[in-house]
Each structure stands twice: as C-alpha cells, then as structure tokens.
Structure 1
Amino acid sequence: MYKLKTKETDNSVIEFIESVDSPKKREDAYQLLDIFTETTGYKAKMWGPSIIGFGAYHYKYDSGHEGDAPLVGFSPRKAKISLYFATGDTERENLLKDFGKHTTGKACVYINKVADIHTDVLQALINQSIRFLKETYPNH
C-alpha cells in the first residue's frame, strides 16, 4: 500500500524558515510566506519536513489512490525555491509565460529568488490553483 509521505504536521513554519542556511533564501521564504498568506487567507502549515503549505484538499484518483495535500505551497530548497501549484489547468501555462525567470518540473515551478519573478503573477497563479482544485475536488 502506497503511503503518502507529505502529511500536514504541527512543526513550526518559522522554525523551519529559520533553519534555512542561506540568509537570502530565508529572506525570500519570509517574503513568500507573506504573499501566500495574504493571497490565500490560510495560515501556513508544514507538510512533511520541508513544504510550507496553505489550505488543504482531499484528492482521489481513478486508480483509487487518495490523500490530502496543500492547495498551494513552497519550499526553500538548497538549489532553488520550489513553488507548488495545481497542474492540469491550461491557465497555469498562460500565467507562467509572464511569471519571470523560472523552470518547471512535473508538478513544481522552480525559482532562484523572488526578485526574478513578478509577484502579481505569483498571486494570480496562487488564486488560479486554489480555484482549479476547489472545482476539481469540491468535497473538501
């Protein structure tokens, strides 16, 4: 049975940010914390050891796999900052065109620093992601 590793925990978001080695990444993490908190209206929670998530939804795939995940989130990793938005909505791709300097993985958007991106587009991505997930998974 597949066990989801990334669960919401009671760990302190501030303690986690304070544990980030790079002072610049810490500063960016606090800036992102403010933007995500203000945009979502949700209190930041730790998900697993290193993801700062906002809100939550319950998903269930056709395969039967199900679980809970944050609606949006970020993680100040050593190499880059990972941003977590919903995938599967074409609006995401359109917004990313105007986002600024970033790369994308399967589900993440990676940035080097907040100064590289347009925060108004970040807010639009956050809102689009929450709207999309609430429409896709309405029962949470």
Structure 2
Amino acid sequence: MAELKTQRNDGDVQAFLSAVEDERRRGDAQRLCAIMAEVTGDAPVMWGTNIIGFGHYQYTYANGRSNDWFTVGFAPRKQNLAIYLAGGFDEHADLLGRLGKYTTGKSCLYVKSLAAVDLDVLRELVARSHASAGSAAN
C-alpha cells in the first residue's frame, strides 16, 4: 500500500510562512500560527510541503494500518486559509454558527480573512478539535 505523502518533517515553519506571497494572507497565516500554538501548547511543525500542524496522534484503520496525523493545522492557499479540524463539522456545528464568514470542503474550513471571523470562536474550535483528536484516535 502506498505511503501517506503528508508526513511530519523538519521543514522550517517560519521560512514557509515568510514565503507566502500575498502580504495579507502572510499576516493572517502568521497570526493563525500563533493562535494555534497558544491554544494547543504545541510547536508548529511542517506536514508535507504546505501544511502546518500542531500536536499529533496515531489513528488505525479497520484493516490495521495506522498513520500519524496532526490534531489541528492549516495551509495558507492563494485564495484562503485552509483550516484542518478533527472530528468533522457536525461536532462543531454550535461554534461554526457563530464563527463568521467561511466555507467548507471535504475535510477543512476555508477562511478568506481572519478579519471575517470571530477569533474567540476560532480559538474554541481549535481547542475542541485538539482535545477531541486524541480521543478519536484508535
């Protein structure tokens, strides 16, 4: 079976953030990185080439195969910040209703600007996701 491409590595988080081209997106990414580090108590770590993750846990598939994954993370994209939360969106519906402007994809929240969301609610989402990821593992 193929190995998971997105793995924890020793890439330089600050260099990655500094290389984000759009000035506003770069500032939002640096701010989100600081928020996630503060809330989780974990240092930011590069996962693959373009995701910054915090914390990690191991999960096991029904077939016995296991993978390591971050508890919360984000990726600064050209159009938005992709925010990865554990537990799916149903688990966070109460907070998402108060978050502000966002869209969702299959497994992440897309935020065009941190100015468009309630940062206290975002902190709660990060804290809840971080706490639930460990209990969801295995």
Q: TM-score range by the shorter chain?
A: over 0.9
Distance 1:64 1:44 in 2: 29
What's the CA shift string for 1:28-55, capped at 9, x where partnerless? 0111011101100000000000001000
What's the CA shift string for 1:99-129, capped at 9, x where partnerless? 1100011110000010011111111111111
Establish whether residue 17 from structure 1 lines up as the match of residue 17 from structure 2.
Answer: yes
TM-score (norm 1): 0.93
Q: Is the 8 A contact 2:7 2:48 kept in 1?
A: yes
Q: Is the 8 A contact 2:87 2:136 kept in 1?
A: no
| Cα deviation, residue 65, structure 1 | 3.7
Calculate the aligned-residue CA RMSD, in Å. 1.4
| Cα deviation, residue 89, structure 1 | 6.6
Q: Is the 8 A contact 1:101 1:117 kept in 2?
A: yes
TM-score (norm 2): 0.94
Letter in 1 for 2:27: E
Percent identity over the alignment is 40
* Aligned equivalent of 2:121: 121
**Structure 1, gaps ≥5 residues long:** none
Q: Is the 8 A contact 1:87 1:107 kept in 2?
A: no
- C-alpha distance 89-65 of structure 1, shift in aligned 2 (>3 A): farther
Distance 1:82 1:124 in 2: 17
SS at match of 2:110: strand
Q: Is the 8 A contact 2:87 2:133 kept in 1?
A: no
SS at match of 2:133: helix
Letter in 2 for 1:72: V
* Aligned equivalent of 1:55: 55
Q: Is the 8 A contact 1:58 1:66 kept in 2?
A: yes
Distance 1:73 1:126 in 2: 9
Distance 2:79 2:64 in 1: 34
Matches within 5 A, 1:1-140: 1-88=1-88, 90-137=90-137
Distance 2:31 2:62 in 1: 37
